Amino acid sequence: MPTILREMDAALFPNRCEGGTNLVAMEAMARGVPTILGANTGHLDLLKDDAALALTDQRPIPSRPGWRESNVKEMVAALETLYTDCTRAAAIGAAGANLLASMTWTKTAAEMKRIITTM
């Protein structure tokens, strides 16, 4: 993946449903690739601190409860934003790398323990 990621100008993940946090999106963000994520399911943990652009127009899929469909026009607009505003794209890439650097296994395990023990 590092060889592919270093050649990317942007990453787009309009995924309808993620069972957990999207590991490929996390790899792209950790590498500093400006990333666009559908604001649903397993992407929500990654959409903070301006670390990615959010696709917020999420339409329900009636045949798949809990799944959402990203809007294609919003995807194109997000890609155009990254293409035309290199400063913003670089800032998003840097924020994504910073966010992922803070998501260590130690912190994740401690947070999970906190959640479980306060239930």
Asked if 51 and 96 count as a contact pair (C-beta separation under 8 A), the reply is: yes
What domains lie within the chain, and their CATH numbers?
Answer: 2-117 (3.40.50.2000)
Asked if 99 and 29 count as a contact pair (C-beta separation under 8 A), the reply is: yes
Tens digit of each residue's pLDDT (9 = 90 or more) over 55-102: 999 999 899 888 889 999 999 999 999 999 999 999 999 999 999 999
| Separation in Å, CA 39 to CA 2, 7, 83 | 25, 25, 21
At residue 11, the pLDDT reads 97
Residue 12: name the closest of 60, 68, 44, 52 by CA: 52
pTM of the model: 0.88
